[in-house]
Amino acid sequence: MSMVHAKHRTVPSVPPDSSAPRKVRRGRRPSALPYALLVPALLVLALVVGYPLVRLGVISTQGYGLRALFTGRPESVGAANYQELWLNPALVSTLVRTLVFAGSLAAGTLLIGLAVAHLMAAVGPRMRTAVTLSLISAWAMPNVASTLVWQWLFQPTYGVVNWLLTAVGIGDYQQHSWFSDPNEAFAVIWLLVVWQAVPFVALTLYAGISQIPREYYEAAACDGANALQRLRVITFPCLRPILLLVGILSVIWDFNVFNQIWLLTGGGPGDATTTIGIWSFQRAFAAQDYGQGAAIAIASVLLLMTMTGYYVRRLIRAGEAL
Number of CB atoms found within 10 A of residue 190's CB: 17
Q: What does each C-alpha distance from 260 to 43, 85, 214, 223 come to in angstroms?
A: 31, 25, 40, 48
CB of 159 within 8 A of CB of 153?
yes
Boundaries of every domain in the chain:
99-283+310-321
pLDDT tens series, the chain, 322 aa:
444 444 444 444 445 554 545 554 555 666 788 888 889 988 998 888 888 889 999 999 988 887 877 777 888 888 889 999 899 888 999 999 999 999 999 999 999 999 999 999 888 889 999 999 999 998 888 889 999 999 999 988 888 998 998 888 888 888 888 998 999 999 999 999 999 999 999 999 999 998 888 888 888 888 888 878 888 888 888 888 888 889 888 988 999 899 999 999 988 888 889 999 999 999 888 888 889 999 999 999 898 888 888 877 877 776 655 5
Whole-number pLDDT of residue 11 = 44
Q: What is the DSSP letter of 47?
A: I
CATH class entry, domain 99-283+310-321: mainly alpha
What number of residues does the chain have?
322
Instruction: From 271, 276, 282, 274, select the one nearest 296 (Cα to Cα).
Output: 276
